[in-house]
Amino acid sequence: MFKILISDKLEKEGLDILTADKRFTVDCKFGIPADELQRVIKDYDALIVRSGTQVTSQIIEAADKLKVIGRAGVGLDNVDLQAATKKGVVAMNTPAGNTTSTAEQTISLIMALSRNIPQAVASLKSGKWERSKFTGVELYGKSLGIIGLGRIGSTVAKMAQAFGMVILGFDPYLSVEIAKKNGIKLVDLNEIYKTADYITVHIPKTDETTHMIGETQISLMKKTVRLINCARGGIIDEAALIKALQEKRIAGAALDVYEVEPPDFQSPLFKLDNCITTPHLGASTSEAQLNVAIEIAHAVKDALSGAGIRNAANFPSLSLESYKAIEPYLGLAERMGKFAGQLVQGRISNVTITYSGAVAQEKVTAVTMALSHGLLTPILGEDVNTINALSMMKERGVNIKEIVSNQEGEYVNAIALDISTDKEPFSLLGTLSSNKQPRIVKINSVYMETVPQGHMLFINNNDKPGIVGAIGTLLAAEKINIAAITLGRENQQGIAVSVVNVDSEIPESLIEKLRQTKNILFVKAIKV
């Protein structure tokens, strides 16, 4: 008999799935205080939450029997994943439950923006008849630029095609073949910015995507462009957007999400006639709430009954012995993936992972999942997890190959990562130090020993004197402390590689100064 605690309101249909199974005892304690939850959780095998319950490390640590945490919704921001993983608790969510509702909200905002519907309604209700004032534009024949072609972005594309729109897409993890099959023309971001009549974003908010559409990007756009954001607040820089709307440099914008929620209602966003705003309604449909309830109920039921685990965000099911053996390699692989995912150039087509040494004696699928998770995280954020990473690779037409080598290579225990793209190949070699800490020991053809951790600078430069000093001087001027710096080169006077570990975030202004430094050819801030 399994005991399940549900601490946030769940639709009846989800409850019925669990209560109908005689193996489960289901207790509903909606809105239970954190201290009480910490006290009673020790008796439960599963916990189902929405966004209201904060599943802290203290609550997880107090759970003696807990096997599964299920979140009825997208993301697991309110669950301490590190604590869950350490405790051996599977944490899962429902990433597909709000796909249709968010896609429909996007299309609704596109149409409302095109036909000035909210403004016209307000005018009419105030007793005015202003037909000519609210003349709109048609969607037919217009180009829609979609940034991010995961579940929601792809659904938006299908819906928009029904209106006769031309779809331009940007997603470095979607193959040209699959995009073409779905009627999407893959282009780079600048082409979307310069040519699209409408631009909508469907990507997670990460360090890479925060303010990815700012004043520079908006300056490339047509004056008739309309911007839509139903993804995450902050992907579009609100200050730059307000300025562009006020100066009529773009035709309009529609927002369902904001940099701070609830937002500052004194913001010009809520006063501009060419901006439509809604209060984060993307997943707010009765169908979406029903879908996530049913989805999480089935997922928890299957996990408890041994019928499989899906949409887990931490690690696949492993025996304790196997997990202990591969645990250090899981960390190495995920960090290698994150490192590569921020540096690889072009559209990924093939990923080859070669295992040698002790790790090759274990089942390496979990390690491949961890590496794939890391590789996709910089672009997909919370939509990807250890369990679904491989299927998301396949959905995007990326071929992934595992090679288990019985031959001793350059290092006794190693993971080699080779990535093929439509631009330049990229490769890494990783191993563990004597105390089992992750190390990257080769980047492309350059040998060096780098600790993949925290904030880092990756630099390609001409092998000339003074580079290290220039880097140190610029970092010191910004009061950024260097934790470690590793250097490598393929040959004397050729191209060198510098990797700098620092103690704090690196501002874009400093990156630009480094780019302008003599003999520095490429620089990028990454976070692992």
Encode 144-170: b = buried (16+ Cβ within 10 Å), e = exposed: bbbbbbbbbbbbbbebbeebebbbbbb
Per-residue tokens: 273: 């006639």
* 232 a catalytic residue: yes
- Catalytic residue (choose from 131, 247, 261, 321): 261
Residue count of the chain, please give it: 528
Per-residue three-class SS string for 277-316 = ECCCCCCCCHHHHHHHHHHHHHHHHHHHHCCCCCCECCCC
Active-site choice (226, 232, 347, 439): 232
Catalytic entry in 280, 298, 310, 489: 280
**Dmax of the chain from CA atoms?**
82
> Pairing mode, if any, of strands 399-405 and 414-421?
unpaired
Q: Where are the beta strands (DSSP E) in 7-71?
A: 24-28, 46-49, 68-71
Q: Could you tell me which residues come within 8 angstroms of residue 293 by beta carbon, excluding any fewer than 6 positions away?
A: 10, 11, 13, 14, 15, 72
Is the distance from CB of 66 to CB of 88 less than 8 angstroms?
A: no
Helix, coil or strand: residue 354: strand
393 within 8 A of 381, measured Cβ to Cβ: no
Q: Determine what percent of the chain falls in helix, strand and coil, rounding each to the nearest 5.
A: 35, 25, 40
User: Which residues have CB under 8 Å from 469's CB, separation 6+?
Assistant: none
Helix ranges, 381-407 (H): 389-395
Strand partners, 414: 356
Q: Name the residue among 419, 440, 413, 445 with its Cα closest to residue 429.
A: 440
Cα-based distances in Å from 44 to 5, 53, 59, 258, 305? 7, 16, 12, 37, 15
Q: How far apart are CA 475 and CA 457, in angstroms?
A: 11
Q: Which helix (H) or strand (E) holds 402?
A: strand 399-405
Q: 257 pairs with which residues across the strands?
A: none
Known catalytic residues are 232, 261, 280
